[in-house]
């Protein structure tokens, strides 16, 4: 069973345990399986708890799409600043945008949503919805700014892999 994730805001109710379970289940059932050290470091999985109009709860799971995967389909980016993958939070938000009858209750993402795109989008379109995460790169920096732990290392531990 995965460990309890961190939350934003810090005083949020506990994360529904079905969310990290759904993310890990996605990793284990993907083809190929996404539990290798390389996959844990490259892929971010998000799982969103929602409720429909009838009060039925569900979970939507989305992985990110890596720069490498996009380059295989579309070729290299025209400029270096355009080399950005599709973030899992953005893909999930788009899924919910097209389903306005669903209410998002909690958002779990293995990595804290990025400050440049995802965090502002979540604050704007999902105000008051708590976020849960395992890895925040800013928490794993040394005195000289070097990265002490990477996402794959943390995910391996929290998932018990």
Q: How far apart are CA 117 and CA 152, in angstroms?
A: 22
pTM for the model: 0.86
Q: How far apart are CA 107 and CA 49, in angstroms?
A: 6
pLDDT tens digits, residue range 22-56?
A: 999 999 999 999 999 989 988 899 999 999 999 99
Which DSSP symbol is given to 151? H
pLDDT category of residue 87 using cuts at 50, 70 and 90: confident
Domains of the chain: 6-158 (3.40.140)
pLDDT at 86 over 80: no
The alpha carbons of the chain give a radius of gyration, in whole angstroms, of 16
- Which of 129, 136, 139, 138 has the alpha carbon at shortest distance from 113? 136
Q: List, edge to edge, every strand of the sheet that includes 6-8.
A: 6-8, 131-133, 103-109, 45-51, 57-63
Structure tokens at 143: 């005195």
Q: CB neighbours of 136 closer than 8 A, spacing ≥ 6?
A: 6, 111, 112
Give backbone dihedrals phi and psi of 25, rounded to 5 degrees, phi first: -60, -40
Which of 57-71, 95-109, 116-130, 139-153 has the least mean pLDDT?
139-153
- Which of 13, 25, 15, 38 has the alpha carbon at shortest distance from 132? 15
Give backbone dihedrals phi and psi of 7, rounded to 5 degrees, phi first: -135, 155
Query: What is the enclosing helix (H) or strand (E) of 28?
Result: helix 18-29
């Amino acid at each position: 069973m995965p460990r309890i994730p961190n939350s934003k805001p810090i005083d949020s109710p506990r994360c529904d345990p079905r969310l990290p379970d759904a993310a890990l289940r996605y990793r284990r059932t993907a083809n190929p399986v996404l539990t290798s050290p390389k996959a844990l470091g490259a892929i971010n999985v998000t799982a969103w708890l929602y409720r429909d109009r009838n009060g039925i709860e569900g979970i939507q799971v989305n992985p990110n799409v890596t720069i490498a995967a996009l380059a295989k389909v579309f070729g290299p980016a025209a400029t270096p600043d355009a080399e950005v993958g599709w973030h899992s939070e953005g893909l999930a938000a788009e899924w919910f945008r097209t389903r306005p009858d669903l209410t998002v209750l909690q958002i779990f993402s293995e990595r804290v949503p990025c400050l440049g795109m995802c965090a502002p989008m979540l604050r704007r379109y999902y105000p008051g919805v708590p976020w849960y995460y395992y890895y925040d790169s800013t928490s794993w920096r040394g005195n000289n700014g070097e990265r002490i732990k990477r996402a794959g290392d943390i995910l391996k531990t929290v998932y018990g892999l």
